[in-house]
């Protein structure tokens, strides 16, 4: 009788333990969300801190280079704790998508607030800010009226006058992918080949290095993202501010397709254990307050139309953007890379 009673009690205890352990992840999930971010902590963590204080949901943040994070998520497989992957450039988001590391986002609540151009056509990622590829030009050597389109840089007039970073850079790959989307690969190759012949030096350095090169007279124009110019203009370093004052910024293709625009964005990891909290965080990042924080702190353009930009961005006026090509940047990335190789963009 005692043995039978012990067996019954043991089975009951075993069942209870199973139920407890089954419920533990749920209990944990209710209070956290794990973010793998290719963006530096200082550019995103203050928003997460506010989210935590308002919701009680803890954001566990892991930051590293985007490609390294993708390899990590892939290696972790179904055991990955990642809930949200954040990165810059639609090309990288598409890479995560093609690697099978993301899951579909239910975009129902976003579609009425956000242009479809800023949502992946397969609903695998969503944009949270805009960044524009621009021209920086020397105030001493270039008149603004000399350039209005990206294609103008193919003219012999710009021989030995252009600085840009290497073809390995995803920003430039997406720039050429957008050109392919707009004019076709054959014409895009012809234009890019002529631009490469106009390089003042072998591509090297980051966007800040290109701005510095223009200020020092190593070239007359450079291709950079808009916010790098602002960072130097507002830098605590007097030398960087002096460099920025020697150049000016120009938004291209305002009379046709618009300036090349890219994004910072996010996707929900394929094996996310905290789906509900992931959606809460996405909603938070797309609210008016968060969008305006991005504009004020990171000098990026909001994706939500109800959010305002900072005073400097406002002073530049309305900028026409090539939004229709955003969803094509990832799929055309391999074509762009091969094209850049063919024209010897090093």
Please report the pLDDT score of residue 108 as a whole number.
86
Give pLDDT, residue 107.
86
Does residue 25 surpass a pLDDT of 80?
A: no
pLDDT digits (tens, 9 = 90+) for 145-200: 999 999 999 999 999 999 999 999 999 999 999 999 999 999 999 999 999 999 99
Task: Please provide the distance, in angstroms rounded to a whole number, between the alpha carbons at the two ends of the chain.
Answer: 83
Q: Helix, strand, coil proportions of the chain in percent (round to 5)?
A: 50, 15, 30
Cβ burial of 239 (10 Å; 0-12, 13-18, 19+) is: exposed
Asked whether this chain's domains 9-130+262-311 and 132-260+327-342 adopt the same fold, the reply is yes
Question: pLDDT for 248-278, tens place per residue?
Answer: 999 999 999 999 999 999 999 999 999 999 9
Domain residue ranges in the chain? 9-130+262-311, 132-260+327-342
If one looks up domain 132-260+327-342 in CATH, what number appears? 3.40.190.10
Right CATH number for 9-130+262-311 from 2.40.290.10, 3.40.47.10, 3.40.190.10, 3.20.20.70?
Answer: 3.40.190.10
Residue 294 — pLDDT band, cuts 50, 70, 90?
confident
Distance of CA 245 to the CA centre of its chain: 27
Region label for 328, one of left (φ > 0), alpha (ψ between -120 and 50) or beta (otherwise): alpha
Indicate the pLDDT class of residue 30, thresholds 50, 70 and 90: low
Give the alpha-carbon dihedral of 330, 336, 341, 343, to 10 degrees: -160
Angle at 72 between CA 70 and CA 73, to 5 degrees: 65
Q: Cβ distance 178 to 328 under 8 Å?
A: yes
Kindly list the distances between the CA atom of residue 109 and the CA atoms of 48, 112, 283, in Å, as whole numbers in the listed order. 21, 7, 9
- Tell whether the model's pLDDT for residue 28 goes beyond 80: no
* 34-88 tens-digit pLDDT: 999 999 998 899 999 999 999 999 999 999 999 999 999 999 999 999 999 999 9
């Amino acid at each position: 009788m005692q043995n039978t009673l012990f067996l019954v009690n043991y089975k009951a205890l075993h069942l209870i333990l199973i139920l407890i352990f089954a419920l533990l992840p749920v209990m944990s999930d209710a209070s956290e969300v794990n973010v793998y971010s290719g963006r530096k902590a200082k550019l995103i963590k203050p928003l997460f801190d506010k989210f935590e204080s308002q919701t009680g949901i803890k954001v566990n943040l892991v930051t590293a280079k985007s490609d390294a994070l993708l390899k990590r998520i892939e290696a972790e497989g179904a055991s990955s704790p990642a809930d949200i992957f954040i990165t810059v450039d639609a090309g990288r988001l598409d890479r995560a998508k093609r690697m099978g590391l993301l899951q579909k986002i239910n975009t129902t609540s976003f579609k009425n607030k956000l242009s479809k151009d800023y949502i992946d056509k397969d609903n695998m990622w969503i944009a949270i800010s805009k960044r524009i590829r621009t021209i920086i030009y020397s105030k001493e050597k270039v008149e603004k009226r000399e350039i209005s389109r990206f294609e103008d840089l193919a003219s012999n007039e710009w021989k030995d006058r252009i600085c840009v970073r290497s073809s390995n850079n995803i920003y430039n790959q997406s720039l050429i992918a957008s050109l392919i989307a707009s004019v076709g690969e054959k014409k895009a190759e012809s234009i890019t080949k002529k631009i490469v012949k106009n390089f003042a030096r072998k591509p090297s350095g980051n966007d800040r290095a290109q701005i510095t090169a223009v200020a020092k007279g190593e070239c007359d124009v450079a291709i950079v993202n808009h916010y790098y110019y602002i960072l130097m203009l507002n830098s605590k370093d007097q030398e960087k501010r002096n460099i920025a004052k020697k150049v000016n910024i120009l938004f291209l293709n305002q009379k046709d397709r618009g300036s090349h625009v890219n994004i910072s964005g996010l996707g929900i990891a394929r094996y996310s254990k905290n789906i509900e909290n992931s959606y809460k965080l996405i909603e938070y990042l797309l609210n008016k307050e968060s969008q305006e924080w991005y504009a004020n702190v990171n000098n990026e353009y909001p994706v939500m139309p109800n959010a305002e930009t900072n005073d400097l961005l406002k002073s530049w006026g309305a900028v026409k953007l090539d939004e229709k090509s955003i969803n094509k940047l990832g799929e055309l990335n391999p074509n762009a890379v091969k094209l850049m190789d063919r024209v010897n963009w090093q």
